[in-house]
Amino acid sequence: MKKKIVSLLLAIPMVLSFNISVYADKAPKPATRGDIVNNLLTTADAYQSGMNKEAIIKGNGNGDLKENQPVKKVEALVMLSRAFGELPKPVGNDLRTGTFGVEFTDVPAWAKKDIDKLAKAGVLTGKPDGTLGANDPISLAEFQAVIARVWALEGSHLPDDFYETINKQWLNKSTIAAGEIMGGGFSELQKQNDDKIAKIIEDLSNKTHAKGTKEQKLADFHKTALDSENRNKQGIQPIEKYIKAIDEAKTFDQLVQADLALEKELGLSTLFRFAIMGDAKNSSENALYYTGLSAGLDKNSFVTEDAKAKKAYIQYMTKLLMLAGEKEAAAKASAEKVYEMEKSLASVSLDPHEQGDVNKYYNPYTIEKFDDMHKEIDIKQALKSMKVESADKVIVFDVKLAQKSAELLTQNNLDVLKTYSKLQLLTATGGLLTDGFRDAANEFAAALYGVSGEKTDKEIAVSTTQSTMSGYLEQMFVEQHFSPEAKKDVEQMVDKLIATYEKRIKALDWMSETTKEKAIKKLDTMIVKIGYPDKWDTTLDKVDIKPYAEGGSLFTNSFAVTKAYIDNQKAMLGKPVDRSQWLTSVYTVNAFYNPLNNEITFPAGILQAPFYDAKAKPEANLGAIGMIIGHEISHAFDNKGSAYDENGNAKNWWTDEDFKRFKEKNQELIAFYNGIEIVPGVLNDGLLTLSENVADLGGMAAALQVVSEMSKPDYKAFFESNAEMWKSTMTKEITAYLSKNDTHSANKIRVNRTISNFQEFYDTYGIKPGDGMYVAPENRVSIW
């Protein structure tokens, strides 16, 4: 169970967007009837050719089409319905993401047939009062949003919607597995890896193994994970003494001591959130970082007072407290107070787009200053209890959150802090206790993220074993499912892309030679990790795993592993960073850039079809894993990674003029990816997603240049492989959540908006002005 310091840097899939940005700088100009019909003659021609102006707009019967008159929304939508004709019946992803079941109350009789047709297609949204806004004006940008939804539903004309057309067959048949929030290329490959791991575990579980061997520990851990009878029989007994200590705390200091005792025995603290990783200003040495109290919802849900999220979260906390023995009324009242406390924390915390910014998160405090922040806590005693007293400073990730946390950590807030502490304990351990805790978590996920169905006990047992015992399972996975030949082939591809990136940097017309030299130095020193580590972690060798029959349990086994890893981490405080260490499991379907180590990592888990296939065309591999490799390299030069030098230290290596130009280019990217619809009413945030958009654009540019240097390159294989790689589907709820919290653009935007910047795409598919995918050359963006 490795502690992942770097954030997920590649793919959290999202769906449905259109590729015309809508800006909110000023009120959009209302369209005329003529604007609408002229738009439709272009945008709908591929779907119902031969339509003329009179058939779409119709007039008063006397030949007067009133083209100069402002158009009402209902008129524009009826014209759209006529122009596109019959629409496909929504299935699969379209059924999942469209808007259905709405009956607008203000639609005139003459328009009802056409509006009903569009509503059944899922492409219309109305106002909160149940009206369509039939008589409201509509701008061309607003109208274009509806057209883009129709393009996506049709999914038959590549020049209008490349992603949808390439993936339409898959999208129409797409499903989301029980208990999951999404499906797609990443999910399908992860499922294949999970099945392979399940087979390894199953084979081990059917045999007897010598005590203390890897095989014995894996088999016995899995047995405890499967043993729901004994787990349910134990109830909350494994954490009863910790709950009792929290409940019986009469003073704030007693609560602190109860928490420190919990941390000492399990490595779990509910009041102190520390981490150990490389010092961002001296990345060769491990330092102590501090966040502050955590919250159970994202900042946006708290700040906007999202009623649905608030209700679901309070219900979840109430059920957890009831499972710990509290009466419902008291539990609900306590949960409401915790919600308000966490809201006060979230309101001052960093926004999601700020969290990876070293200028925001690197705030070193002396121990004395950090101690002074906490008026009623002896910080030095707490650090000593946690065995991190050797730290000469504490780097505060989020100053305002830490200050607010310190303000709350007092005797005056004892009652709410006791509930908070108990809830943190129950949340962290509930999955290892009774089925009641799992049921509560499933209900919360269903209410908040639209998750349907549940994982089976067998699936949960494999997943728990896979995450907790990864130190052993990784070795077996690699031995059986990843060849040295594949490792070597991908290493050569990485070398090629790094060399190409160097050529691209040398050719930049906006960067001085002084800064180019520093950028190339960062490329030349970049650490590359492919497939699996050169040496395996041995932490699990120190851990004793026992089945229930020998006094073990899922709880004790899990926290024995957790504590071993945490103790290892603490032992590294103040010592040199082990740059060979991997921060993710080898069967993860993802890739990473770690700015503190200036390293890119590609686990064996993602180096499989459809991302990498030794039998595929080189162009297809470059469109998938090649673009991903270029993406991760680009993170060294995005708006956040660019703040670190070749050694992973936060240090400015730019000239002032170059950095000014770089920031201007970033602003262009923010605007280019901003305001694009993901699902109706949910828009892509160009600022939030900036770092990933820089990486996508740079990654595609580098991979495409490698293809362009081939003899008779197959650009179709490249672009279509890229679109297929990002195919995905998910619930509306998680789509909306990620649009406010995920630094990645929606998957469809990652395809359509990115490829529209490259002339090779236009030449390959004959994209022309008027097509949905078309962006005028002067409006295209690039950085690297």
Q: Is residue 63 part of a domain?
A: yes
pLDDT for residue 20: 30
Cα 106 from chain centre? 39
Closest Cα partner for 275 from 665, 573, 24?
573
Q: SS3 for 99? A: coil
d(CA 624, CA 609): 9
Q: Which residues, other chains included, contact 725 with Cβ-Cβ below 8 Å and sequence gap of 6+?
A: 185, 610, 611, 623, 624, 627
Strand partners, 603: 531
pLDDT for residue 49: 85
pLDDT for residue 19: 31
Closest Cα partner for 528 from 554, 568, 491?
491
Q: Is residue 295 part of a domain?
A: no
pLDDT for residue 26: 55
pLDDT for residue 59: 66
Longest Cα separation, the chain: 94
Record the tokens describing residue 107, joined without a space.
């639609």
Q: Is residue 500 part of a domain?
A: yes
pLDDT for residue 27: 67
Domain that holds residue 603: 483-541+585-779
Give the number of other Cβ atoms within 10 Å of residue 594's Cβ: 27
Q: Is residue 490 part of a domain?
A: yes
Q: Is residue 704 part of a domain?
A: yes
Domain boundary among 132, 154, 176: 154
Closest Cα partner for 562 from 381, 474, 442, 432?
432
Q: Is residue 707 part of a domain?
A: yes
d(CA 489, CA 85): 50
pLDDT for residue 614: 87
d(CA 292, CA 404): 8
d(CA 776, CA 250): 69
Number of structural domains found in the chain: 2
Residue 199's Cβ-side half-sphere holds a number of Cα atoms within 13 Å equal to 10
Q: Is residue 289 part of a domain?
A: no
Domain boundary among 131, 154, 177: 154
**DSSP codes joined into one string, 295-352:** -SS-HHHHHTT-HHHHHHHHHHHHHHHHHTT--HHHHHHHHHHHHHHHHHHHHHSPPG
Q: Which residues, other chains included, contact 291 with Cβ-Cβ below 8 Å and sequence gap of 6+?
A: 273, 274, 275, 397, 398, 401, 402
pLDDT for residue 109: 96
Q: Is residue 141 part of a domain?
A: yes
Are 99 and 66 within 8 A, CB to CB?
Answer: no
C-alpha dist (Å) from residue 778 to 673, 697, 782: 16, 16, 11
Are 643 and 635 within 8 A, CB to CB?
Answer: no
Low-confidence ranges of the chain (pLDDT < 70): 1-27, 59-63
User: Distance between terminal CA atoms of the chain?
Assistant: 36
Domain boundary among 138, 154, 170: 154
Helix 457-468 / helix 214-226 crossing angle, nearest 10 deg: 140
Are 762 and 741 within 8 A, CB to CB?
Answer: no
Strand order in the sheet with 599-603: 527-531, 599-603, 592-594
Residue 690, domain CATH: 3.40.390.10
- Average pLDDT of the residues of the chain: 94
Classify 133 in phi/psi space as left (phi over 0), alpha (psi -120 to 50) or beta.
Answer: left
Taking each continuous run of H as one helix and of E as one strand, the counts in the chain are 34, 11
Q: SS3 for 293? A: coil
Closest Cα partner for 221 from 471, 563, 465, 583?
465
d(CA 237, CA 163): 52
